[in-house]
Structure 1
């Protein structure tokens, strides 16, 4: 069965051009980049080239890029690294719709005695900037607000967030994992002090990411031993992964906005057809600025789990924001934060398009989706 992949916010296919760049560093150029001999120094040079490629894409300096094992590590390093460097500050501000890679570390911080304030969003998923300003305190160590939500695609006004926090002398981190490659990301324009990104969301390999740390931003390392990454993140460098991340960033830099124009056109076609075929559908964040690849739709009165399963059985790969809790299917934390009624929110399906999608994928989706919705409706699943 042919697969129609519409889950690019979960992960992306490795671009063949990226894979080509990586392959020699598994077998031929396998030296340890920390070694003094030329076999290692050649690899070290390629890692620094990748660092330049990442920095160029987001408008940073090479010295401000720390390679990590992925977005989750980058998020944890941003939070705990800043908190460790500012021990007198015990308060963190996040949004109520952050990714688990921020939300769950903050839950752990609360168990350790830190205080965390979650800033709400409206029904369209837009951040309450007035509430943000009112909740920054003298003991606030860091504000961490995502650049774009992974479920709804809603883009947050990070420039305004940074201005509000900086007025109080508080550094700002943004999880840009879901935004990079789908909207413009420039650290100088955003004004943020730290930014997380992940390779596998931009057609690179899994298991590698990066944290941008603005010069002079206080940060203590979490992983110590070896002195890699200018003593900010110890451990032997994942050379093939880092080189793959660099190659993925270089491709994005060369594509500029052109790569998302096709995706945006498919997205508009997808949403128009959803509205035509399902008049009672709710598209989350439709009134807000969103990523051009993400459509999160709620089918009122239905449950997302059977919808996703039946679509999968027909070769259509999408995702649901729903989570099983205490044996019952509930709307996702993001949907609940938006104030969407459970009867509507429990039917949440996310369609996320990517570089390799075509009009044929949208056509195939609508050959299957109406039958699936009808079947689930009849069964009252």
Structure 2
């Protein structure tokens, strides 16, 4: 005898699933209901497989795009050095043996030795109180770089950093003499004003990038850390300002014009709409903060742009130094790639959610003999 509407309502209110309740309106036996449910599960699983394939395709496309990325930076690891002026070292553009140097044509190792050839990392432009160091040599006065503030060539005339490698007064501050990128790296003073009338010596390093597309987004990646000069004490704070635009990061050029002994140089820098700031890390007395990786995203305004880095921090008297390495500029993932990946993830998540919420496992009903 067919079940009455009252009986169906009672059966549905006794804990039956809504799908089973609806199927009973079609007068289906338990065996028939089981086969219908199995068909539903097959359709859902097909949807999950298709969604998973879509997500895998998105991953494949993203991976192919990653493999085909163009690198726009030359010598992002500061491994290659060259002369920027003709002099006793050789002609401009010739290579320099790997070593530790103060860079730029304002003051360099060549000036101390009576030469006139300025040293710079190939592809980059800079001056001021900036240095390039080979791996695992920066915390040794014996292998430090000669500076324009000294008059000789001995260990006491060389710039180096506090660390365990110093022969005299070593500091176990955890100094790591190379970034995860390995090899040479840059050391930049973040708060130095020259008082002899030359001008501000805290200046950016820059490189002109070509082949960009106006309106496209680019990822600027780099490693940086904070350290202090050997022979100095006191807590400092360091950071970087990064720019990708039509010009180098703007600074004040006059002597004693940019900052005083107690503040960060960034507080008085001109406004920069195309710049990003890492923020500061606090570096304890004679300390070192480990290397960290940063990714910034910029939109190019022209096919040619200037990438520049300026060390920021303070106070002036300690002095603070910011370390830089592993600079890379690549195309950011296209919006279409992100969209495909999101669609794939969303499809998988939606299918799994439907499966978990509505297709709970059921026991197979006993078939009639």
| Pair member with larger Rg | 2
TM-score tier, shorter chain, comes to under 0.3
Relative contact order higher in (CA < 8 Å, ≥ 6 apart): 1
Structure having the larger proportion of residues in helix: 1
Structure having the larger proportion of residues in strand: 2
Question: TM-score, normalized by length of structure 1?
Answer: 0.23
Question: TM-score, normalized by length of structure 2?
Answer: 0.24
